[in-house]
Amino acid sequence: MLIRGGKRLGRRQKAEAGPGITVEISEGKSTMRIAAGLIFAGAVSLCLSGAAWSQTPAAKGTATSPAAAAPAPAPAAPPAPAKAACANPDALGIGRVVEIDTTGGPGFGFEHFKQLDFLRDKEVVLTFDDGPWPVNTPSVLKSLADECTTGIFFIIGKHATYYPEILKQVAAAGHTVGSHTWSHATLTNKKLTEDQRKEEIEKGFSAVKWALGGASPSPFFRFPALQHPPEMVTYLGTRNIAMFSCDLDSFDFKARNAQQVIDVTMNKLDKLGKGIILMHDFHKHTAEALPALLRKLKAGGYKVVQMKAKAPVQTLPQYDEMIVKDVKLPTVSSRPVSSVVQTISE
């Protein structure tokens, strides 16, 4: 269990940390205590996320050309996480697995949340935003599989309804799935009412659940553009949803090519020595950069930490219903009207 990198994990240890977070570590002999709480560190971010802002779906098989809305298939059975052994003896693998108790809405990522410094030197968490998206997300999945490693995918709800089959591949590969709002709205936008902000958050989770055939994702959330309105930070706390900023931004959405993604990420990482890395499976250059970037992490002695939630998110029924209403029913027949309906009497 919890092994995808071909590494043997030792006994599991668990540390209760009062009213906050329990981190359970599947690894050798480490026990970690983490105090509860988070610090909201202002609205200005050095760590701006790339913007996908609710794109229309691309034509199947291309990553760039917009097309008409994809038909929405009916939800199917939840995927079973893959447990295949790693075939690559030199894989990056998974160094450690931590379990997160999201009670009270802990915050991760030093760009905004300073309390929970749980990564050890040379440890990284790979995070991918704005998917699922054709071509690029499957490419990222392949690169991670080739290195028997894993990441957290922060999903845009609308994109999940466009491409549920791709999202199912993410979950089936055993990666952690969180949410990144319904439509990538910046929640600090003053034009949005409080109800609209909550709807962006809640519908995002409900859409991911719908696309996964009813399997709830992790209660892990990332604000679009890393803009954290204080009242929504508080709200997520009441919903027991963890918030993810980042420690270092790959700035892949600005990169002119794959090499730039690699260079920016490795330069920042070598300075910091560890961290939660923000990338976008939505972007072509990221997908192209990932095989070499993962090799560089391995060569640099970095180890990937898998973050798993102790319990799935509890979606709210009214938002689950909204998604069902929003998503068009699958087409049962593509025959033209004239071949189905014929006037026989008039």
Interface region with Zn ion, contact rule CB under 5 A, candidates 7-15, 44-52, 255-263, 317-325: 44-52
Interface region with Zn ion, contact rule CB under 5 A, candidates 46-54, 158-166, 196-204, 335-343: 46-54
Tell me the DSSP string of 239-292: TT-EEE--SEE--TTT-SSHHHHHHHHHHHHHHHSSEEEEEETTSHHHHHHHHH
Q: Would you count residue 130 as binding Zn ion (CB under 5 A)?
A: yes
Q: Would you count residue 101 as binding Zn ion (CB under 5 A)?
A: no
| Least separation in angstroms between CB 47 and Zn ion | 12
| Least separation in angstroms between CB 124 and Zn ion | 19
CA neighbor of 250 nearest in space, from 214, 201, 215, 289: 289
Would you say 99 or 129 has its CB closer to Zn ion?
129
| Least separation in angstroms between CB 278 and Zn ion | 9
CA neighbor of 94 nearest in space, from 140, 149, 142: 149
Total residues contacting Zn ion (rule CB under 5 A)? 4
Q: How many CB atoms lie within 10 A of CB 80?
A: 9
Q: Would you count residue 183 as binding Zn ion (CB under 5 A)?
A: no
Tokens (6 digits) for 345: 């009497």
Out of 22, 26, 45, 49, which residue is the one contacting Zn ion (CB under 5 A)? 49
Q: Would you count residue 218 as binding Zn ion (CB under 5 A)?
A: no
CA neighbor of 295 nearest in space, from 183, 118, 149: 149
Would you say 95 or 134 has its CB closer to Zn ion?
134
- Cα of first residue to Cα of last residue in the chain, in angstroms, is 67
| Least separation in angstroms between CB 327 and Zn ion | 21
Out of 27, 129, 249, 281, which residue is the one contacting Zn ion (CB under 5 A)? 129
Distance of CA 206 to the CA centre of its chain: 14
Would you say 93 or 134 has its CB closer to Zn ion?
134
Would you say 53 or 120 has its CB closer to Zn ion?
53
Helix (H, G, I), strand (E, B) or coil at 307: strand
Q: At what angle do helices 284-299 and 136-146 cross, to 10 degrees?
A: 10
Would you say 95 or 157 has its CB closer to Zn ion?
157
Residues within the interface to Zn ion (CB under 5 A) = 49, 129-130, 224
